[in-house]
Amino acid sequence: MNVRPIPGASIAGRPRGRHKRLALIVGGMLLAVTACGGGGGSDSGSDAKEKNDKGSTAAAASKQSEAVVSIAPKAGAKDVDTSGVLKVSASNGKLTEVTVKDDDGTAIKGTISADGSGWTPATHLAAATKYQVHAVAKDSEGRTAAEDSSFTTLSPQNTFIGNFTPEDGSTVGVGMPFSVRFTRGITKPDDVKKAIEITTVPAVDVEGHWFGNDRLDFRPEQYWKAGTKVTVKLNLDGVEGRKGVYGKQSKTVSFTIGRSQVSIVDAKKHTMKVMRDGKLYKTIPVTTGKPGYATWNGQMVISEKFTVTRMNGDTVGYDGEYDIKDVPHAMRLTNSGTFVHGNYWGGDAFGNYNASHGCIGLRDVRGGYDSGVPAAWFFNHSMVGDVVTVKNSTDPTVDPANGLNGWNLSWADWTK
């Protein structure tokens, strides 16, 4: 007899819900087996890791810059020359940053070329100094590459320094140049000149001029303006002044320009007009060089002051003609022996006739004790760097190298 199951009834007395639970269990087991067996075209765990590793490597490779930074001299180099050796370059990219510092943290200025392919220092390096170099370049994709290096410069066997005037911290007249005398003759003048930097407040163009191979003077085109502050950086340490001879001096010097005083001596009228700030301050009777011993014409700068000094004709080629041990109120105008000074032996020459051996004489007393005489007044109202200009003498214009007298060169000749 056939029995048809009644819809919704259980078979063989078992409820339908149990079939559902069994189906879920079996399905879960099959799913678990599939997941663990790696069938059906799915990646296994090891295959996925391998692909991930390959992807990471490719990504890293795509991020690496193609730019290459090169630094000369090579890392760790010693006895490196102070100029012409340090260079930084980039290939397959452009330099974006170059830093060169010594162990004290002092940076060397330099310039990256317009195309970014190279960097060169703006100045020489110091001697016996270790330098650290850090350089960065970018490729066409903007990815950076960096390089670091260090080296040490040479310790020179032969050196030079510059002896300078005026002194640091001094106040000087409007005609005072900054003058440097080197202890060795210089055969690389451009390199040495470049190593001396002058700045002023207010700003004015200052240029240097060589007198021979051991003296370099700096001045503006016109006399300094009163109150100008001048700062000079002598960056001579490491500069090669001549083959195998290096500077060993690094110093900053500052001085100030005082009030303006320019005195005009007329050798024919036997007078000196003292001008302060462009106005007549005082007129003083003088005597200048007699025939055969005429005073130089031209602009001369007071370079030294002596309350009392000895003047001996033997030292300037006038053998035996005079030897005065107590010349009062003397101020040097040339290296060859021209002074403006007190004169107690000149009688009535002052303002009347020329009686000296080339100096400019002002009336004084022996011992220089009288502050009221013209020589004492002028001495007390003058400073190193003031200008004394002589005109209408029968002698030629003073040699610009004879004393601090470069003002007798035109600006065109000074800067030539």
Active site residue 341: yes
Q: How far apart are CA 327 and CA 119, in angstroms?
A: 61
What phi and psi values does residue 304 have, to the nearest 5 degrees? -150, 155
Q: Which amino acid is at 215?
A: R
Residue pair 329/342 in contact (Cβ under 8 Å)? The answer is: yes
Q: How far apart are CA 348 and CA 363, in angstroms?
A: 9
List b or e across 131-163, with b for residues whose CB sees 16 or more CB atoms inside 10 angstroms.
bebbbbbbbeeeeebebebebbbbebeebbbbe
Q: How far apart are CA 346 and CA 363, in angstroms?
A: 8
- Catalytic residue (choose from 209, 329, 357, 359): 359
Name the pairing type of β-strands 387-391 and 298-301. Answer: antiparallel
List b or e across 57-95, with b for residues whose CB sees 16 or more CB atoms inside 10 angstroms.
eeeeeeeebebebebebeeeeeebbbbeebebbbeebbb
Query: Which tokens sit at 131?
Result: 């330098």
Active site residue 36: no
What phi and psi values does residue 58 have, to the nearest 5 degrees? -65, -40
- Catalytic residue (choose from 209, 270, 341, 357): 341
Strand partners, 130: 152
Q: Residues 6 or more apart from 296 whose CB is under 8 A from it?
A: 334, 338, 358, 390, 393, 395, 396, 397, 398, 402
Q: Which residues are catalytic?
A: 341, 359
